[in-house]
Every structure is written in structure tokens, then in C-alpha cells.
Structure 1
């Protein structure tokens, strides 16, 4: 029985909102500290990877975490159903987060595997259920607004999580922060189970039509070749995309991309045009995500190393009492010349290595000593580009905004700006002037390009990185890209729901996430250029040019895309 009030949003939307909020709490908590965790020294509780390896793993992880929805979407469409897939995926992701809380190379990679696989079952299917709630004729015109509301749920979780991450990391260490992500994911699963009665009526497995490929054949033509192509790409001598994993990932995607192209040309005429339109949009949005997801890599490094994070006194007093201030100290070691500093740290590391760690007291003492060394290194690095008159006197400290908190700027803007963006489009709809969904995506790409120019200004403000940039540069850049995001990302989900043939909606949702996957991998590849480019403004000029090119391509296709929308009686 339908649980809606006429013309209002379905009750099931609010349970999906809550589920996604807590799932994204865990996902973005992990992502917000992921690069910092990989860069932090092993003795400080991190992985101790170099910047190139960090960006490689970051991009590969983000790529794979959005590649598996192709498989999860297909199995949900054909075999499992959406609710069962979501529950399975949620539990897998929770397992992954809890495994990350264990400081071990082995569990690190097992944890990433669990999260990647779990997201594949969770992500496309909860988005598909949102679209299914609006399948009735009286609800179709509210689908875009429904996805915007759902998208705001994502960002409520993404906003809150970074405060929890900062508190747990500063006071208890990396492991407790990752465990908090696991707890959040479990809460999301519970919310979903409570609300399932409002959702089960739209959890319908569509029958396979005559002439459709069997599930086994699809997996045999895509997943198996994907692994084979990936292995070939990894084993090719040398590399042509920066690293062996880059080669493996991009070459491995070729069979899946080929399958979607085959699907477009094999379908009957009307469905073929709809699938081709979706694939054209997917291609353009790849570059949006290549830029957008640098927030967890290049922009996190910018926040850590080049942003003035000093707290005003009134804020620092409160933050310190709450245990959420990152502290940098000045003493004789930190302020010594480079050779003296390096020698002192080397001697301290040797002493640490020689410290016994058998009894509980010895383990605690060794951990504290290791943290002291990490504190000295981080203080030295922060002060390196801080004007001399801002460096605290010896024996005193500065209290800083934790780097993780900068990851909350984007979701804050989403929550703040979503009502405005939805309101503007609703106002235009009432006057019959609302842009089509493809036009909204074009606008989103154009605005995203402008956000890169804001960061060009940030680079110039540092005088060639000899000074720190104000936090307002990041706040402004995230604000601009958020407007672009709101015009593009939820609209992409809505477009898939509108144009996909009903029996393969989740599969096509997996195709959208495949585009995100490739974009995410490109984000890691682009971020790896950060260390190599001496003129950092050129890094952001490159971002600007790439997204602008995608916007121009989409603009040239708008007339055709809008005609396909009209043919399918959607806007």
C-alpha cells in the first residue's frame, strides 16, 4: 500500500534520507582522514606512505569504490532485489571500517576491499529506490526535488562526520576514528530496517525481456574480461599513465565501457536513443568528478600545508576544552636550524626504537614518545611558511582548526544551498521556464570550472607558497563548486532514473557510478601532479581547462539530449 500524502514526498524518502545520511557519515569520515592517515608516519599510527603512493592508492580506491556498483546494480536488478543488496552492502562497509581501525598493512588492504565491495551493493540500489518512489504519474514532476532532498541527507552526514573524526583522532588516535565510521554505518542499516515497510512496495525485480542477456553472460562478458584486462594493464612493462595501477584500472574498465556501448546499439530504437543519451552525459561528468574528488587529496594537502588554520582565541578556548583543537608547539627543537632539527629527530627515533614495549605501561610510554616526535615534525612543517611575527614564542603553542574540518565545508554549503537551488528551480518550474535536466548538468560543469579559478587566486595569495593562504579561499572555492555539484550530481541520479529502461535502471545507475569511478581515478592521477608542478597555479588552471572542455562538449549536445528527453516524456 502506497504510504504517501497526495503531492507530498513519499514517507519512504525520509528513511532512505536517514540511511544515506549515516552511510555517508561513515564513508566521508573515512575519506576525510584517508590521505592524512596514509601520509602520517608508521610510528605515529599512520601508514607512512610517500605522497605518490598515497595519491595512487587514493585514486584507485575511489575508482574501485564506484566501479563495483555496476556489479551490485546488475545483481539487484536480476537476482537479489534492492533492499537485500543494501543491507548486505552496509554490513560489508561497516566491517571494512572496523578493520581499518586495526593498525596493520594486511588489514588495511582487506578493509579497503570490504568497503569497495560493500559500496557496490549499497550505492546504486538506494539511489534506484529513491527514483522508484516517484514512479507514479502524480509524482514524476517532483523527482528532481526528491533527489535534491536525498542529496542533502548525504551531506548532513558528510558535515557531521569530520567533527567526530577530528575529536577521535586528536584524543584517541586513527583507529578510534575509523571505528566511529563503522558505528555510523551500522546505525544506517538499522534506520533502513525500521523504514522497510515504507519502501518494500517499490523493491520489485523487473522481469528479463526476450532477447535480454542472462545475468551470467553479462558478468562473463564484463567482470571476467575486466579482471583479465586489468592484469594485462598491470603487467605491461613500464607504464603509460603514471603507475602500474593506473594502467590496470583504466585498461580494466574497457570491457565494461564496451558492454554499455553494445547495450546502447543492441536495444530497440527508442531505448537505444535513451541509453546513448545517458552514456553521452556520463562521459562529460567524468571530468566533474575528477576535479570534485580532489577535496580528499590535493585540497586536503592544501589545507594541511598551505592554509592558515590558526583559531581565534575565543574559538580556541572552546575547541581546546572539547578536545578538538590541533596543537602546534614551539620549542628549542622546532626552532633550531634544519640540520640540528633533523639530527635531533633521528636521535629521538633511535631512542624510540630501543624503548621496550612489553608491559602495558611500556607500550603506553612508547606511544606517547612517538606522538611527541610526530608533534615536533608537524609543528616544524606548519611554521615553515608562517610569517615570523605569527610564530608563537618558545614554550608556547598555537591551536589550529583540524585539517579534517575543512572536509565539512562542502557538505555545509550543500545543506545551506540546497533549499536555495531547489527553490530557484521550483520558481522557474511554476513559470514553465525550468531548465531541462541535461541543461542543469551543463550549468553545473560551467560553475565547477569557475571554482578552480578561485584556487588560482589562493595560490597567488601565498606569494609562491612562501606564506599561508586564508581559509576563506577554500571556503569560497568549495562554495562555488557546491553550486555546480547541486546542479549536476543529484541531476545525474535523476536523469538515470528518468531515461533508463525500467528493467535495467539499477544497471544504468551502475553505469553512472562507473563514470564517477573513472573520474575518481583521474582525480588521484591529477592530484599526483601536485608535487610535480613547481607553479601550483598551473595545477588549478589545468583543472579549469578540463572541466570547461567537458562543459563545451555537453553544450554542443544539448539540443539532441533535450529531444531525447521529450521523446521519453520527461524533462
Structure 2
């Protein structure tokens, strides 16, 4: 009797699932409150201006996905994937603790640096281990489903972290909230250790072949030139791409991109076509990440200033009991009355004096600037009544919640199509994901018009719907990208090509910060989201233009 494999998954999957869940718990906890912390001028934040915060955020998330290029290479050639995960996880855990402990900027940035380096070792290695577990029968045909399940683990971590972050910062402040991320990372390493015996067989260092790139070549011909190019970009007067950090990042990427292009040029005839296919996918993925990662900037800003965050009366006491009511706005009897608060301009940016300190005055909290006339009338009639609000970072849990809900649906749908012989190829799923993601931008265009371009707060339903649409696109693209790398990469450079996938994520992440910084250039915010729609539509068309060729290469490799 033929063995059925549709429900077969390796024993190591749950351990990698929970390791990644706890690692992403820490990472997304940081991202959920990072911008809020940097722009906060009321409760012990850094009081940066919004544009600088966007720039730092974009640079941070970009660099965390740039370092997997080098980390993946070292894991492939020297360390092995298990050792790289321990090194990366420890560095990230220490970095998270440092962000919470140190407010002095040099130590704050050094802590961010530990996270950036740690992710470089951790991220490509755990993704490669997962792919290796599925390289043998009876698991081989379930690799896409395995990556989807793994991706759900990522998003369980991303979902719960924002709830914990809100609790911690409401009850204890910013520092302990950030330090919680470090605790999560070390829990993840403990889980990984428990499952190590089920993962060891996937920790295979690939044998070197003639023409393979040497470590010395990477360090001297790629890493060192990237540092030099980044320094040049930083020092060039009159910023080219908007800020010193953006110039430095773009310049630093040039040697790395050149390396991947030459990897294709110098590849043997067997490897050239699959490497070329992966580079094409990396290129179109950049635009997806440039839009998607605005959840930490533009969409957080939308949630904070343009979304009705008031909590329905029946939920107030239960949420108060677990410290999930925004401490600033949910203090009983002090909502609508005037008190000393920071002054904000028409774009909700903190106004500062000549010394860079936030200007204070007796006024109502900024949240009440654009509430509806009905709500305003109620509050004016009884200004001491409580208005309990959801923490802004809780909106960061909407996307992972959708992932958790929709992953079984998406996996089940594609398995149904597979049984009927109609399952799309992995490249087809990626192009479909780009188009669906573009539609999410149109939902936000509708939100802008519903709120009369920010004059009145809109229902949270708009954000929930937008996140739901882009999550469908994400599930077609992101886990499928990881699966595609595992399927097409020459075995000896799989983690290196994983690093290439994360390089595309890195560039997209940086572009997300650049795009978000243009938020204030648009008087009509609908145009901001229309530009994002246009970028994803262009990426979709580019994907369609190469889809036939990609599918042909997949067929040649004997994978779907």
C-alpha cells in the first residue's frame, strides 16, 4: 500500500516552532513599542521627533535582516546551524535586556547592535534547519505546509508579545517591557535545547566544491567593502536618500548585492538557473516588505492618532484588572480636563523648544483633538468621566492574529487544490501574494476618506480589515519565499541563499522607514496609501512577467 504523506511532519518541527515563537516574541515586542518609546515625551521615552524615529526604526529592522547574509554564510561553512542558533539567540537576548536597562544613547545603540548581530546568526540557521528536516521522505512533499506551520509559530509569538508589552509598560514602565523580550529569547533557547536530539540530523555542513566562495573572500571582498561603502554614505554631504543612516545603508548594500549577482554569474550550468530564479524573487519581494513593515511606523501612527481606541464599557474592568488600559488616557477623572501635556502640531508631532525639549502647556490630551462631535459633547457635559483606551501597541497584534486564524485556511485550501492536481506553484503563490497585499492599501484609502482625512477618528474595523487583506498576501509570499529558497538553493549554499532572501527583506524594511517618513509630505493621506498600492502593483506585474520562466525552472528541478 502506498504510504500517505499529507499529514507527516518531522519530530523536530514542534521544537523549531516554539523556539522561533519565543524568539519572535522578543523581536516583535521590541518592534511594537519601539517607535512609541522613541517619540514618547510624557512617560520617560526618548522624545525623538517622528521623522528621526521612523529613520532609526527603518535602519534597525533593515540591519537585522542584512546580517543574515554573513551569519548564513558562517553557519554553512564553519559553525553549523545549531551552534549559530545558540550564538545568535544569546546575543539577541542580551541585546533586548540592554535596551531595557540603558537609556544612555551609546549603550542603547550598542544593545540594538547585539540584536542586529544575533539575528544574523539565528534567522537563516533556523529556517535552513527546518528545510533540511523536510528533505527526506516521507516529509518531502509537505515542505510548503511545514513552512506555513512554522510561520504560524512566528505569529503566535508576535500576537502575545504586544499584550505582554502593554501590560508591562502600563504596570512597570518602558524598561521592564523591553527586558521581557530578553526573557522570551532565553526561553526559546531552552526549548531548542530540549528538542536538540530531534534536530541534529538536519545540522549538516555541506561539502565544499571547486569554485565555492571562501570565507576570506566574503570578509575581504564583501564585508569590509560594505563597511567602507557605508561609512562613505554616512559622510557624504547633502543626503542623497533622505538621511545619513539611509545613505549609509544603501551604500553598504551595494557590495552585498554585487556579491549575489556574481554568485549567479560564476555559477556552474546546473546552479545558474535556480540561483537566477531566486534572485528574481528576492527583487520583487523588496516592495512587499517596504509596504508591509510600515505596520510599525505609518500604521502605528494611524492607530495612535486616527483610530477610535475607546474600550466598550463591559470590557473596561476586565482589562483594567490585567493592566491593559492605556495608563496615560485611562486615569479615572482626568481625561477631558485640562492638564500639563506636550504641544503637538497639526501632524501630531511633538513641538520642541530651541534646546530640543518638548513644549508643555495646560491642555487636553492630544487623543481628543479629532474625536467625533457626539463624543466631544458628552465629554464637555461631564469632563471628569473616564475614557478608557486600548494601548496603541495592541493593534500590532492584529496581523499575527489574522495569521493564526488564516494559516489553517490557506494551508487547507492549497492542500485541497493539490489533491485535485491544481495547486499553484510556489512562484505563483508569491505573485498572488503581491497582488492581494496591494489591495490592503486600498482599504486604508477608504479609511482616510471615512475619517475626512483625519478630521474625525475612524473605527478600528478599517485597520483590522487592512491587516486581514495583507495577511492573506503575506501567507502566500513570506513562508513560500522561505520554502522556495529551500527547494531551489544548491545544497552547499542554502543558508547563504536564505541570507539573500533576508537581504531582500532588509532592503524592503529600510525602504519602509523611508516611505513612512514621507507621511508628513502628504496633506491628503489617501495619496500616501495610493503610492504604496502602486508600488505593490508594479511588483505584481514584474512577478507576472517572469512567472513562466520561474515555473519552468521549478519543473526542471522536480519541485512544485
Contact 1:449 1:547 in 2 (8 A): yes
Partner of 2:298: 298
Offset at residue 104 of structure 1 (A): 2.2
Deviations 1:312-339 (A, max 9, x none): 0001121112211115233542599989
Offset at residue 106 of structure 1 (A): 2.1
State whether structure 2 residue 422 is matched by structure 1 residue 422.
no
> Which whole-Å CA distance do the structure 2 matches of 1:215 and 1:161 have between them?
37
Which secondary structure state, in structure 1, belongs to the residue aligned with residue 383 of structure 2? coil
Structure 1 residue ranges, 4+ long, deviating more than 3 angstroms after superposition: 4-7, 334-339, 373-377
Offset at residue 464 of structure 1 (A): 1.9
Stretch deviating more after TM superposition (315-324 or 491-500): 315-324
Partner of 1:389: 374
Offset at residue 107 of structure 1 (A): 2.0
Partner of 1:561: 550
Deviations 1:435-461 (A, max 9, x none): 000000000000000000000001001
State whether structure 2 residue 546 is matched by structure 1 residue 539.
no
Offset at residue 7 of structure 1 (A): 5.8
Partner of 2:79: 80
> Which whole-Å CA distance do the structure 2 matches of 1:213 and 1:301 have between them?
44
Contact 1:410 1:478 in 2 (8 A): yes
Partner of 2:54: 55
Contact 2:342 2:360 in 1 (8 A): no
State whether structure 2 residue 134 is matched by structure 1 residue 134.
yes
Offset at residue 213 of structure 1 (A): 2.2
> Which whole-Å CA distance do the structure 1 matches of 2:361 and 2:307 have between them?
18
Pairs within 5 Å for 1:164-243: 164-243=164-243
Contact 2:335 2:383 in 1 (8 A): yes
Contact 2:430 2:480 in 1 (8 A): yes
Structure with the bigger percentage of helix: 1
Call closer, same or farther: CA 1:331–1:407 in 2, change over 3 Å.
Answer: closer
State whether structure 2 residue 465 is matched by structure 1 residue 476.
yes
> Which whole-Å CA distance do the structure 1 matches of 2:109 and 2:384 have between them?
41
Give structure 2 stretches of 5+ with no counterpart: 345-349
Contact 2:339 2:362 in 1 (8 A): yes
> Which whole-Å CA distance do the structure 1 matches of 2:361 and 2:194 have between them?
45
Deviations 1:413-453 (A, max 9, x none): 00000000000000000111000000000000000000000
State whether structure 2 residue 511 is matched by structure 1 residue 522.
yes
> Which whole-Å CA distance do the structure 2 matches of 1:35 and 1:260 have between them?
32
Offset at residue 136 of structure 1 (A): 0.8
Pairs within 5 Å for 1:250-399: 250-327=250-327, 328=329, 329-334=334-339, 380-391=365-376, 392=379, 393-399=382-388
Offset at residue 547 of structure 1 (A): 0.5
Offset at residue 494 of structure 1 (A): 0.1
> Which whole-Å CA distance do the structure 2 matches of 1:243 and 1:338 have between them?
26
Offset at residue 244 of structure 1 (A): 1.4
State whether structure 2 residue 414 is matched by structure 1 residue 438.
no
Q: TM-score, normalised by structure 1?
A: 0.91
Offset at residue 6 of structure 1 (A): 9.8
Partner of 2:106: 106
Contact 2:340 2:360 in 1 (8 A): no
Partner of 1:509: 498
> Which whole-Å CA distance do the structure 1 matches of 2:483 and 2:342 have between them?
58
> Which whole-Å CA distance do the structure 1 matches of 2:492 and 2:436 have between them?
34
State whether structure 2 residue 538 is matched by structure 1 residue 549.
yes
> Which whole-Å CA distance do the structure 1 matches of 2:69 and 2:225 have between them?
14
Offset at residue 139 of structure 1 (A): 2.0
> Which whole-Å CA distance do the structure 1 matches of 2:307 and 2:541 have between them?
33
> Which whole-Å CA distance do the structure 2 matches of 1:178 and 1:375 have between them?
30
> Which whole-Å CA distance do the structure 1 matches of 2:85 and 2:342 have between them?
55
Call closer, same or farther: CA 1:202–1:454 in 2, change over 3 Å.
Answer: same
Contact 1:44 1:374 in 2 (8 A): no
Contact 1:451 1:480 in 2 (8 A): yes
Counterpart of 1:410 (choices 382, 399, 407) is 399
Contact 2:340 2:362 in 1 (8 A): no
Partner of 2:441: 452
> Which whole-Å CA distance do the structure 2 matches of 1:146 and 1:376 have between them?
56
Pairs within 5 Å for 1:153-164: 153-164=153-164
Offset at residue 569 of structure 1 (A): 0.9
Stretch deviating more after TM superposition (317-326 or 192-201): 317-326
Contact 1:101 1:174 in 2 (8 A): yes
Partner of 1:357: none
> Which whole-Å CA distance do the structure 2 matches of 1:331 and 1:407 have between them?
27
> Which whole-Å CA distance do the structure 1 matches of 2:236 and 2:110 have between them?
25
Call closer, same or farther: CA 1:336–1:137 in 2, change over 3 Å.
Answer: closer
State whether structure 2 residue 497 is matched by structure 1 residue 498.
no
Partner of 2:148: 148
Contact 2:485 2:494 in 1 (8 A): yes
Number of residue pairs matched? Answer: 538
Partner of 2:69: 70
Partner of 1:97: 96
> Which whole-Å CA distance do the structure 2 matches of 1:297 and 1:60 have between them?
12
Call closer, same or farther: CA 1:376–1:441 in 2, change over 3 Å.
Answer: farther
> Which whole-Å CA distance do the structure 2 matches of 1:231 and 1:122 have between them?
26
Partner of 2:347: none
Contact 1:159 1:409 in 2 (8 A): yes
Call closer, same or farther: CA 1:374–1:407 in 2, change over 3 Å.
Answer: farther
Which secondary structure state, in structure 1, belongs to the residue aligned with residue 388 of structure 2? strand
Stretch deviating more after TM superposition (103-112 or 281-290): 103-112
Q: TM-score, normalised by structure 2?
A: 0.93
